[in-house]
Amino acid sequence: MRRRSAARSGGFTLVEVLVGLVLLGMLMTLVANGVRLGTRAWSKAETVTADQDDLEAVRSLMRRTISRAEPVFASSDLKNLTILFNGEPNAMTLVAPQPATQGNGPPAVQRFSLGRAGDGQGLFLRWQLLAPGGPVGDPRQALVLDSVASVRFAYFGPAADGQPPAWQERWVERDRLPQLVRVSVVRSGRGSRVWPDLILATRVTTNATCLYDASSSLCRRVR
């Protein structure tokens, strides 16, 4: 009788084995769910961090470019007071120091616009050096931001002389720069945050080579 009890106490019954397997399965499920949740949280944190880095990079580039925009005349005709700035709802062209020159490089005609980037759209910067006779050299292009659903520009300033400043969708064929530029970016893809609008000021809104003529109330170009 003692031998049977001793032999029986040395192992597990079938019920005990099944209970152990069930508990082990539940434990593995909890561990797997925890790993899955941790992976999702880590991936989301990486997405938010990358999106924040993109936001700061675009903000910095836009701030440098727009704040250093130059009111360069678009034509060599002394009677033409139009400056080289073309503000559209989904694109913007201006003159500013060449990119990546810390603001002390030669002037370049620069254009922000959407274009094809892989399977989606991206925000591109295209620029070309500006000489007294017009743009020179081959144009260059760089991808500023990928995974972009839309980009909208707006321009703050008077629609005409004597009118109060207001936000406008277009700023073309003007004799001065807008006072402010608003940039709205909507990114594509899951997990992308809604970016706050960028509102940036231009430093110079009048042309240094243009003198005000009191007799005609117009601007007179200076060579």
Mean pLDDT of 69-97: 91
Q: Looking at residue 45, what is its pLDDT? A: 46
For the chain, how long is the longest CA-to-CA vector?
Answer: 128
Round to whole Å and give the CA distance between 23 and 173.
Answer: 76
pLDDT for 93 equals 97
CA distance 188 to 206: 38
Q: What are phi and psi of 8, to 5 degrees?
A: -70, -35
Percent of the chain with pLDDT over 90: 36
Mean pLDDT score of the chain: 81
Cβ-Cβ contacts under 8 Å for 185 (sequence gap 6 or more): 58, 123, 145, 148, 150, 151, 195, 198
In the structure encoding, which two tokens stand for residue 136, read together? 């020179």
**pTM of the complete model beyond 0.75:** no
In this predicted model, what pLDDT tens digit does every residue of 123-155 receive, in sequence order? 999 999 988 778 888 899 999 998 899 999 999
Region of residue 118 (phi > 0: left; psi between -120 and 50: alpha; otherwise: beta): left
- % of the chain exceeding 70 in pLDDT: 76
Give the integer Cα–Cα distance in Å for 163 and 87: 19
In the structure, what pLDDT confidence band is assigned to residue 206 with cuts at 50, 70 and 90? low
Q: Where are the domains of the chain?
A: 49-221
Band of pLDDT at residue 199, cut at 50, 70 and 90: very high
- Give the model's confidence band at 181: pLDDT under 50 very low, under 70 low, under 90 confident, else very high: very high
What mean pLDDT do residues 53-80 have? 87
3-state secondary structure at position 79 = coil
Per-residue pLDDT, 214: 56
Per the model's pLDDT, the better-predicted residue between 102 and 90 turns out to be 90
Q: How far apart are CA 68 and CA 96, in angstroms?
A: 6
